[in-house]
Structure 1
Amino acid sequence: MIDLSHIDDLARRLSSLVPPGLRGESSRELRDELQQNFKSVLQTGLGKLDLVTREEFEVQRAVLLRTREKLDELQRAVATLEAQLGAAPAAHPPSSAPHH
């Protein structure tokens, strides 16, 4: 979920960009309406994006790090086993003739 306070802040910033001629007391309602419109457009636009929360991102990052550590561990184990197999004498060399 997107933090609505950030959207409110951005909408306020956008409404502050209204030309100075529209900033008088009589146009306060216009600024408020513009701010609400900005907020609505921002929420709609951001809602269409495929975004994840920071928490979801951090969870997936932790899973990826654990997976990477496990992969490194498995690669070391395979390398060790390959080294042991390469150093061990072959008791029964593989036969190329099919067995019936």
Structure 2
Amino acid sequence: MLNAKKLEEIAKQITDSVPPEVKNIAEGAEAKVKQVLQSQLSRLDFVSREEFDIQNQILMRTREKLEALEKRIEALESASSAQ
């Protein structure tokens, strides 16, 4: 999901581009624009930054464990072939 602050900025830019005569209508439109943007973006397959960072940390730990296991296997194979 996109950052709520970014959504507010987009909605504000849209409402700021409305002519002054229409500002009264635009006041209610900003909330509606935010709601529509949030609804449409929630349909997309995004992950939050927090979720991404968590998965990235899990991947790094998994990679470290894999490298340690590969080294251990190499050591066992070389010890086995030396005998």
Q: Indicate whether the TM-score tops 0.5.
A: yes
Which runs of no fewer than 5 residues in structure 1 stay unpaired?
89-100
- Distance in 1 (alpha carbons) for counterparts of 2:22 and 2:51: 42
Relative to the length of structure 1, the TM-score reads 0.68
Determine which structure has more spread, i.e. the larger CA radius of gyration: 1
Paired residue for 2:71, among 67, 76, 84? 76
The list of structure 1 runs, each at least 4 consecutive aligned residues, that deviate by more than 4 angstroms after superposition, is: none
Aligned ranges for residues 1-100 of structure 1 at < 5 Å? Answer: 2-18=2-18, 23-24=19-20, 26-88=21-83
Say which structure is richer in helix: 2
Alignment root-mean-square deviation, CA: 1.9
Relative to the length of structure 2, the TM-score reads 0.80
Which runs of no fewer than 5 residues in structure 2 stay unpaired?
none
The number of residue pairs the alignment matches comes to 83
| Greater relative contact order (Cα < 8 A, sep 6+) | 2
Report percent identity of matched pairs: 33
